[in-house]
Amino acid sequence: MTDIETTIQPEAAAVHWHSRSTWVALAIILFYVVFTFVLPVIPLFIIFGTVASPFAISVAAVAGVIWLAAMAHHIFTRKSRKQLIWTAFRYGIISLGGTGIIVMLLSLSTPWHVRQNETFARQMRREADIPAIRAWAETTLFVPTPPPFTTGLGETKFYEGETPGCMKSITGFNFIAFSSEDKTVELVFGGGFGHWGLTIAPLGTKPPEGFGHYTLPLEDGAWVWQEMQ
């Protein structure tokens, strides 16, 4: 009898180790490894703010509830308490990693440029004093003798002076572009594969429309935009 019990117990432990939940946890780990290090999709999601912050914040809370429910079910329905730590770890991977995957899939239901513009618009509403920037541009850029600048394509000029006080609260922009003819000033972010920014124009000016140039109004005469190249 003892020999039979000794034979059965290792087999039961082996079955437990190779349970379906273990394979699910391993598949989730593989998913994050592939899409973080092999195909860096997840880092790009983070950099470009693809996953909206309310979704991201909810991941831990939802995963915690799922994990507690799964552990409670396991403890109260299983007579054996063996490998409880491994079970808790396995369920944690499934609940947190699975919830994260669901959130990423939900975020993909909205086009990338829409999410990018919405995220950037929230930043500009927090950081940009649009009336102050418009007033600075009128008295500094759109004058007969403007400050130092370099010339880009068309009518665009790139401001080369010191960053004004009304823009020091804005983080991450690369340069300030302006057009004396259109009386517009732009704070440009991004790099070679795509860039985005804040445009401030005279009151009553509407955002431009066109393929590949996506805009989102902030207020009268001001909007954020994203342009893919």
Whether the Cβ atoms of residue 120 and residue 112 lie closer than 8 Å to each other: no
Three-state DSSP at 174 gives coil
Confidence label for 41 from pLDDT (cuts 50, 70 and 90): confident
Question: Nearest CA to 47 among 101, 103, 110, 120?
Answer: 120
Confidence label for 8 from pLDDT (cuts 50, 70 and 90): very low
Mean pLDDT value across the chain:
81
> Would the pLDDT of 43 be above 70?
yes
Top-confidence residue, 206 or 209: 206
- Find where tokens 């808790």 sit: 88
Cα 229 to Cα 145, 170, 194, 210, 211: the distances in Å are 34, 24, 5, 14, 11
Cα 71 to Cα 15, 65, 76, 82: the distances in Å are 19, 10, 9, 13
b/e per residue, 212-224, with b = 16+ CB within 10 A? eebbbebeebbbb
pLDDT of residue 212: 54
138: region left, alpha or beta (phi > 0 left; psi from -120 to 50 alpha): alpha
- Note the pLDDT tens digit of each residue in 176-207: 999 988 999 999 998 665 688 999 999 999 98
Q: What is the pTM of this model?
A: 0.55
